[in-house]
Structure 1
Amino acid sequence: MANEGSFSRAADKLGIGRSAVSRSVQKLEAQIGARLFCRTTRATSITREGELFYQSCRPGVDRIMQALEKMRDLREGPPCGRLRISAPHGFGRKVVAPLMTEFRARFPAVALELLLEEQTVNLATDGIDVAFRDGRLDDSQIIAKQLIPMQMHVCASPKYARQHGLPLSVDDVATHSCINQRLASGRLQCWDFKVNGQPRRITPEADIVFNDPSLAMQAVLADQGLAQLPAYQVSEALRNGKLVACLEHVAPDDRGHYLCYLSREQLPKRIRAFVDFMTTSIRALDFSTVELRAHSSMQEEVALP
């Protein structure tokens, strides 16, 4: 109003009615106890008190207008700004981090910060924009988009299989050397199976325990025993023969890799671009295990000591 010089021009710029502008000014004058504008039937002019009030408010108003303009740029311009991303250590190292290079090449104005942590983060209070999560999700307060199923494989090295055989049933696991992982909660990881259509969980006695999945994988490759590991970690080693899988007929099928964020409404372009890119890129990765199940008869031959 102070800039436009009349209620009508101010109303036109704001896209509201002249009476709404007049009522707002009257309410403000009542709140501060001073007349801000002199009004006549022919003209409207700012008072001395109005000028003082305007000059005091102007820096704040300018900052608000700049903030609104920046928000408009974020919404309508190319993706930009900073993204804080959380992921489990294994999935973050093996899957998310390698894809970040291509994402940055496509969207150079978006800065990325990847935090690897096993504990479930609170997106609202921890300042996380996007979180990758594994397993089963029960949090109804977030948007959880399944990227791919989380396939789990009980694996061993060929040398271990030749020397000790492989388990043919879940109960046989107890007769083998096992490598397990300590979760962020302090518990040992349970091994999940589906037997006769029903879920079954065991926590095998472990000879070696790590709190990092890549170390568990290294121990399996070093002929130290069996471990249950996700497909994104072991699919390549299984295909090239560095590892063999067993118990594929009782592998679980109710887990997934998820990409999580707080809301679909007014999603910043940088988050939408990241979600779309990661969804497409991760689903295009080859973690297929069709050929593993097709060769189950070969694995049973290896299972015999």
Structure 2
Amino acid sequence: MSNISLPSSSPDHSDLLVSSLSASYAGVVAFITVANEGSFSRAADRLGIGRSAVSRSVQKLEGQIGARLFCRTTRATSITREGELFYQNCRPGVDRILQALEKMRDLREGPPRGLLKISAPHGFGRKVVAPLMLEFHAHFPAVALELLLEERMVDFATDGIDIAFRDGYLDDSQIIAKQLIPMQMHVCASPNYARKHGLPQSIDDVAAHSCINQRLANGRLQYWDFKINGQIRHLAPEGNIVVNDPSLALQAVLADLGLAQLPAYQLSEALRNGELVTCLEHIAPDDRGHYLCYLSRQQLPKRIRAFVDFMTARIRALDLSSVELQSLDPILATDPATTAVVLP
């Protein structure tokens, strides 16, 4: 979002500009309306105010600029030469203001259009948001879309962001946060890894396994979260592979390289295809979400409202948070001495 820069000027000049605008605005509006309508009475009807108020505004403007703008008699009102000159100078500015107002009205009442700047985490943005943006653009071709994939918490005003997708927990009370779906986290492995090394049955067993970790934008490793006896417990397992993107972590799991804790939207397809199994479901956290965030519900542009409604409906229809889990825990026959897994 760009900042407005005004030409540098002295404090006295700035004060004069402010006082001049505040004093003359009503007079200019009244003057332009009288000039267009040809009479003070019709101008008053057009503006929805009394004739005397229109007359006072024009008189005050005439006093400010030191020139008579209308010749007024009991029978007619005509514009002076000075008035014609002032009208020609004022009219382009008034037209631009009216055009600006009309454009704002069109943004609110016409079809959605304009630029929409969107921020999303790499994983959710690439897997869920980006494909749906193509469908949104097909429905609303007048809306230009810009998608930025980043893990950091964006600042809406400074970064010029209209919509942000966020994962996990939200504690920013300054934004509107709409939960799209719960964010289900699953510890997963490939069936080959499970056959070879078994699966952890408790949080303490995780240390005995090869783990694939993710590094966050702030440089620290992402915790694995579990809910035990109603309390969230963070785990930082030793990892022999570290990546900074959940899709890369998923690739490592599918390559039989170890365990990872990943959100359901990343795993849904692989779980349905039997390419992954899950474990530790009894202590999986259940208090996270995928959120769609924006600054305010007031005077929401149509392009933002259309995008919010579209994404909410489409993402919920994907049902990414209730995938059918392919957990081997209930059917594993495990040798306590070796923790090797014997499949039926």
Q: Is contact 1:11-1:18 (8 Å) kept?
A: yes
Q: Is contact 1:245-1:299 (8 Å) kept?
A: no
- Of the three residues 31, 46, 59, the one matched with 1:13 is 46
- Of the three residues 217, 220, 224, the one matched with 2:250 is 217
C-alpha separation in 1, matches of 2:179 and 2:136: 20
- Greater RCO (Cα-Cα under 8 Å, separation 6 or more): 1
- State the one-letter code of the partner of 2:94: V
Instruction: Compare 45-54 and 213-222 and name the one that shifted more.
Output: 45-54
Runs of at least 5 residues in structure 1 that lack an aligned partner in the other structure: none
Asked if residue 195 in structure 1 is aligned to residue 240 in structure 2, the reply is no
Instruction: Provide, for residues 54-106 of structure 1, a one-character-per-residue CA deviation record: whole Å limited to 9, x for no partner.
Output: 22222221111111112222222211122111111110111011111221221
Instruction: Compare 137-146 and 41-50 and name the one that shifted more.
Output: 41-50
Residue equivalent to 1:245: 278
Q: Is contact 2:278-2:328 (8 Å) kept?
A: no
C-alpha separation in 2, matches of 1:199 and 1:300: 29
- Of the three residues 45, 68, 93, the one matched with 1:35 is 68
After TM superposition, the runs of 4+ consecutive aligned structure 1 residues lying more than 6 A away are none
C-alpha separation in 2, matches of 1:195 and 1:299: 23
- Of the three residues 103, 109, 129, the one matched with 1:96 is 129
* Structure 1 residues 72-91: aligned runs within 5 Å: 72-91=105-124
Identical aligned residues as a percent: 82
C-alpha separation in 1, matches of 2:193 and 2:263: 19
Could you tell me how far 1:138 is from its partner in structure 2? 1.0
Could you tell me how far 1:37 is from its partner in structure 2? 2.9
Instruction: Provide, for residues 192-246 of structure 1, a one-character-per-residue CA deviation record: whole Å limited to 9, x for no partner.
Output: 1100111111121221111111111111111111111110001221121111111
- Of the three residues 118, 124, 141, the one matched with 2:174 is 141
Q: Is contact 1:152-1:228 (8 Å) kept?
A: yes
Q: TM-score, normalised by structure 1?
A: 0.93
C-alpha separation in 1, matches of 2:207 and 2:55: 81
Residue equivalent to 1:258: 291
Asked if residue 171 in structure 1 is aligned to residue 212 in structure 2, the reply is no
**CA, structure 1 residues 295+25, in 2 after alignment: closer, same or farther (shift >3 Å)?**
farther
Runs of at least 5 residues in structure 2 that lack an aligned partner in the other structure: 1-32
**CA, structure 1 residues 265+155, in 2 after alignment: closer, same or farther (shift >3 Å)?**
same
**CA, structure 1 residues 20+215, in 2 after alignment: closer, same or farther (shift >3 Å)?**
farther
C-alpha separation in 2, matches of 1:301 and 1:20: 91
Q: Is contact 1:161-1:302 (8 Å) kept?
A: no
Could you tell me how far 1:30 is from its partner in structure 2? 4.0
Residue equivalent to 2:81: 48
What's the C-alpha RMSD, in Å, of the aligned pairs? 2.1
| Greater gyration radius | 2
Could you tell me how far 1:8 is from its partner in structure 2? 2.3
Residue equivalent to 1:232: 265
* Structure 1 residues 56-71: aligned runs within 5 Å: 56-71=89-104
**CA, structure 1 residues 299+51, in 2 after alignment: closer, same or farther (shift >3 Å)?**
farther
Residue equivalent to 1:113: 146
**Does the residue aligned with 2:156 lie in a helix, a strand or coil?**
coil
Asked if residue 297 in structure 1 is aligned to residue 318 in structure 2, the reply is no
Q: Is contact 1:194-1:200 (8 Å) kept?
A: yes
**CA, structure 1 residues 229+55, in 2 after alignment: closer, same or farther (shift >3 Å)?**
same
C-alpha separation in 2, matches of 1:201 and 1:34: 77
Residue equivalent to 1:285: 318
Asked if residue 269 in structure 1 is aligned to residue 302 in structure 2, the reply is yes
Q: Is contact 2:277-2:327 (8 Å) kept?
A: no
Aligned residues: 305
